[in-house]
C-alpha cells in the first residue's frame, strides 16, 4: 500500500527533493542570522567597519527569504501536480469502466472520490514525506550524539521510546480506519445529495425536502463523528509521544543519577545527555504527525484504488472507421441476466434482421427490449448464445469500431449540459455544417433553432432541462443520425412526440431505413405498422415475427396490443 502511495510521488521526486533542500537552506540561513547579528554588534562595539557584516546580514536575510519562499512554492506546486496526476488517472479509469460495474456505483460517491480523496493525498505526499525524512535525520543525529555521551543511558532511552513507539503503531491503523469511514461518509453524503439534485422536481413534488435534508445531514454527521474519532486517536498518539519523552527523562535521571553517584559517569555528561533527550522531541513529534498523515493518505488511496482496480473496457481507438453499408443483426439463442443474483432477462432470444429496412421490437414492459440494445452496444456481455452484427460475432468486433457503427437513442433520451450544437455533434464531432443543418431539418428541430435567442449556441441546461421532453428526444435522434450509423437503434423514439411530429418522424425513420438498418423499440404500434418486420417479445423470449398484417392474424398478444391501441377493430 505504502509503495503504491509512493508511486504517486515518483514522477515528482526531483521537485520534492529540490523543494525540501531549498527549505533546509532557508532554515540554515535563518539559523545564521543570530550569528551575523552578533558580528554586527561586535563590529559596532569595536568601532570597526560595519559595512561588511551588515552586507552579509542583508544577503542572508534576502537569500533566506527568497530560498524559503521558492522552496515552499515548489512544494505546493508539486502537491498540486500530485493531485492533478491522481485525478487524471482516476477520471480516465472512471469513464472507461464497464456499464455493469457503474450500475452498482453511486455517482455522488464517485464525485467525492475525484474531488475529496485526491486532495487528501497532497498533504501526506509533500509535507508529510519531506518533514518525516528531515525529522528522521534529526533523530538519527541526536541518537548518535547520545551514543557518544553514554551507551547505557542511550539503551534506557531507546527502551522507553520503543515501548511507546509500539503503542503508537497500534494506534495508527485505528486512525486509518476512522479516516476511511470519514471519507466514506463524505462519499455517502455526496451520493444522497446527488440523488436529490438529480430528481429535484420529484423531491419537491413529493414533499420530500425535509427527509432528503435529514439524510444528507445524517451522512454529514457521520463524517463529523469519524473525523472526531481521528482527532481523538491523533491526540492520543501525541500524548503518548510526549509521555515517552517524560518517562525517558525520568528513567535517564534515575539511572544516570545512580551512575554519577557510583562514579562511573560525569555530571556534565548526564546534563548533556538530558539536553539531547529534549532535542528528540520535535523530530519525534514530526514523525508521529507524518505517520498520521500517512494513515490519512492510505485511507484516501484505498478509496481511489477501489475504482482503479475495476476492469476497464478496451480503449476505444479514435476515429475507428467502420464502413458505411448497412449491417444486419442476428440473435441466436441469447441468454442474459444482469448479474448472477439477478433473474434471467433473455432466456434464449432468437431473431434475425437483414441489412437495411425497418424492424420493430414490440412487447410488454419488462420483456427485455431495451436489454437487446444494451447487448448490441456491448454495455453488457451476454452469457449464452450468439449475437452477430454484419455477420460477425459481436465479441470479435473491436469495441470502438462496433460502437462507431451504431447510432443509439436511449429510452429516456438524455441531453447533456452545454449548447444545442454541442449536443447535436456529441456523437459525430467531424460532421459538416451541411450535415448538421440536414439532420436538424429532418428531425424538425429547425423551428426550435429559429425560435431560440442564440440558435444553435443556446445552452440547454443541465441534462437539457431547458428543452421540452419532445425536443430532447428529437435532439437525441438528430445526434444519432449525425453519426451516420450502419445500424440505428431507437428506443421508444416517438413516445413523447405529438401526433403531427410523430407522423413526420415516421417518415424520417422510413427514409433513414432506406439507407441503413433501423431497429426501433416502440410501445405505440401506430409508429411501426409500416415496418418491414416486427419482432414480438414476451418474458425474455421472441414470441412471433412478422408484419403488422400477418401478426394481427396469427399472434394473440400482438392482436391484443393492437386492439387496445385502436389499430384493428
Ligand atoms: N441495469 C439493469 N440492472 C439490472 N436489471 C435490469 C437493468 N436494466 C433492466 N433490468 C431488468 O431487466 C428486465 C428487462 O428490462 P428491459 O429494460 O429490457 O425491459 P423493456 O422490455 O425495455 O421494458 P419497457 O418496455 O418498460 O422499456 C426488467 O425486469 C428490468 O428490471
Ligand atoms: Mg425499455
Distance from Cα 525 to the centre of ligand 2, integer Å: 15
Closest CA to 540 of 395, 341, 370, 340: 370
Helix or strand (DSSP H, E) at 168: helix 151-198
Closest CA to 395 of 404, 385, 408: 385
- Asked if 59 contacts 274 with a C-beta cutoff of 8 angstroms, the reply is no
Written out in words, the top-level CATH class of the domain with range 2-308 is mainly alpha
By most ligand atoms within 8 Å of CB, the mutation choice from 366, 536, 540 for ligand 1 is 366
3-state secondary structure of 62: helix
Q: Which three cell numbers, joined as nine digits, stand for 376?
A: 448490441
Q: Is pLDDT at 115 greater than 90 in this prediction?
A: yes
- Asked if 90 contacts 304 with a C-beta cutoff of 8 angstroms, the reply is yes
Q: Which atom belonging to ligand 1 lies closest to the Cα atom of 537?
A: 21
320-335: b or e for each residue (b if 16 or more CB lie within 10 Å)?
eebeeebbbbbbeebe
Annotation: CATH topology of 329-564: Rossmann fold (3.40.50)
Alpha-carbon distance of 543 to 551, in angstroms, equals 11
Q: Is pLDDT at 395 greater than 80 in this prediction?
A: yes
Q: Is pLDDT at 320 greater than 60 in this prediction?
A: no
- Count Cβ atoms below 10 Å from residue 107 Cβ, excluding itself: 13
Q: Where are the domains of the chain?
A: 2-308, 329-564
Distance from Cα 370 to the centre of ligand 1, integer Å: 7
- Count Cβ atoms below 10 Å from residue 217 Cβ, excluding itself: 12
Ligand 1 surroundings by CB, under 6 angstroms: 103, 338, 342, 345, 365-371, 411
Ion ligand 2 residues within 5 Å by Cβ: 370, 411
Q: Is pLDDT at 567 greater than 70 in this prediction?
A: no
Identify the residue whose cell numbers are 425513420: 509
pLDDT of residue 360: 94
pLDDT of residue 269: 86
CA-closest residue to ligand 1 atom 26: 365
3-state secondary structure of 352: strand
Alpha-carbon distance of 461 to 463, in angstroms, equals 6
**Report field, pTM of the whole predicted structure over 0.85:** no
pLDDT of residue 174: 92
- Count Cβ atoms below 10 Å from residue 213 Cβ, excluding itself: 14
**For 131-147, how does the pLDDT look when each residue is reduced to its tens digit (9 = 90+)?**
888 888 888 888 888 88
CA-closest residue to ligand 1 atom 9: 371
| Mean pLDDT score across all residues of the chain | 88
Distance from Cα 297 to the centre of ligand 2, integer Å: 43
**For 55-72, how does the pLDDT look when each residue is reduced to its tens digit (9 = 90+)?**
888 888 898 899 989 988
Distance from Cα 524 to the centre of ligand 1, integer Å: 18
Helix or strand (DSSP H, E) at 350: strand 344-353
| Mean pLDDT along residues 35-49 | 80
pLDDT of residue 161: 85
Amino acid at each position: 500500500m505504502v509503495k503504491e502511495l509512493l508511486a504517486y510521488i515518483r514522477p515528482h521526486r526531483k521537485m520534492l527533493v529540490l523543494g525540501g533542500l531549498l527549505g533546509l537552506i532557508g532554515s540554515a540561513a535563518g539559523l545564521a542570522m543570530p550569528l551575523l547579528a552578533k558580528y554586527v554588534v561586535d563590529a559596532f562595539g569595536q568601532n570597526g567597519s560595519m559595512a561588511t557584516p551588515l552586507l552579509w546580514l542583508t544577503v542572508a536575510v534576502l537569500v533566506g527569504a527568497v530560498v524559503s519562499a521558492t522552496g515552499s512554492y515548489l512544494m505546493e506546486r508539486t502537491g498540486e501536480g500530485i493531485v492533478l496526476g491522481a485525478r487524471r488517472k482516476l477520471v480516465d479509469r472512471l469513464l472507461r469502466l464497464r456499464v455493469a460495474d457503474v450500475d452498482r456505483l453511486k455517482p455522488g460517491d464517485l464525485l467525492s472520490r475525484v474531488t475529496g480523496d485526491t486532495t487528501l493525498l497532497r498533504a501526506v505526499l509533500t509535507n508529510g514525506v519531506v518533514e518525516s525524512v528531515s525529522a528522521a535525520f534529526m533523530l538519527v543525529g541526536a541518537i548518535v550524539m547520545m551514543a557518544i555521551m553514554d551507551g547505557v543511558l542511550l539503551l534506557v532511552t531507546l527502551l522507553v521510546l520503543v515501548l511507546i513507539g509500539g503503542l503508537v503503531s497500534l494506534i495508527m491503523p485505528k486512525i486509518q480506519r476512522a479516516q476511511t469511514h470519514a471519507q466514506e461518509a463524505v462519499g455517502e453524503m455526496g451520493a444522497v445529495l446527488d440523488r436529490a439534485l438529480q430528481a429535484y422536481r420529484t423531491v419537491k413534488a413529493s414533499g420530500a425536502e425535509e427527509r432528503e435534508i435529514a439524510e444528507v445531514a445524517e451522512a454529514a454527521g457521520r463524517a463529523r463523528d469519524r473525523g472526531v474519532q481521528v482527532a481523538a486517536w491523533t491526540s492520543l498518539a501525541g500524548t503518548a509521544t510526549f509521555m515517552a519523552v517524560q518517562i525517558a527523562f525520568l528513567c535517564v535521571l534515575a539511572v544516570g543519577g545512580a551512575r554519577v553517584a557510583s562514579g562511573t559517569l560525569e555530571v556534565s555528561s548526564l546534563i548533556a545527555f538530558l539536553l539531547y533527550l529534549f532535542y528528540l522531541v520535535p523530530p519525534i513529534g514530526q514523525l508521529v504527525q507524518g505517520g498520521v498523515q500517512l494513515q490519512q493518505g492510505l485511507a484516501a488511496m484505498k478509496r481511489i484504488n477501489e475504482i482503479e482496480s475495476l476492469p476497464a473496457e478496451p480503449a476505444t481507438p479514435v476515429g475507428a472507421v467502420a464502413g458505411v453499408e448497412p449491417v444486419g443483426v442476428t440473435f441466436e439463442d441469447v441468454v442474459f441476466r444482469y448479474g448472477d443474483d439477478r433473474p434471467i432477462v433473455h432466456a434464449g432470444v432468437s431473431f434475425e434482421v437483414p441489412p437495411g429496412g425497418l424492424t420493430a421490437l414490440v412487447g410488454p414492459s419488462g420483456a427485455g427490449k431495451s436489454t437487446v440494445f444494451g447487448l448490441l452496444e456491448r454495455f453488457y456481455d451476454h452469457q449464452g448464445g450468439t449475437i452477430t452484427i454484419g455477420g460477425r460475432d459481436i465479441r470479435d468486433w473491436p469495441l470502438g469500431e462496433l460502437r462507431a457503427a451504431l447510432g443509439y437513442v436511449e429510452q429516456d433520451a438524455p441531453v447533456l449540459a452545454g449548447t444545442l450544437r454541442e449536443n447535436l455533434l456529441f456523437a459525430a464531432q467531424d460532421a459538416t455544417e451541411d450535415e448538421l443543418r440536414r439532420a436538424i431539418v429532418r428531425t424538425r428541430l429547425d423551428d426550435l433553432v429559429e425560435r431560440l435567442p442564440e440558435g444553435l449556441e443556446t445552452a440547454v441546461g443541465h441534462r437539457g432541462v431547458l428543452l421540452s421532453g419532445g425536443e430532447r428526444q428529437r435532439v437525441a435522434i438528430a445526434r444519432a443520425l449525425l453519426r451516420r450509423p450502419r445500424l440505428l437503434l431507437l428506443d421508444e423514439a416517438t413516445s413523447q412526440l405529438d401526433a403531427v411530429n410523430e407522423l413526420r418522424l415516421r417518415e424520417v425513420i422510413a427514409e433513414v431505413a432506406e439507407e441503413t438498418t433501423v431497429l426501433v423499440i416502440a410501445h405505440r404500434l401506430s409508429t411501426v405498422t409500416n415496418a418491414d418486420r416486427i419482432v414480438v417479445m414476451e418474458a425474455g423470449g421472441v414470441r412471433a415475427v412478422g408484419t403488422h398484417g400477418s401478426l394481427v392474424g396469427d399472434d394473440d398478444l400482438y392482436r391484443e396490443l393492437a386492439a387496445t391501441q385502436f389499430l384493428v377493430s
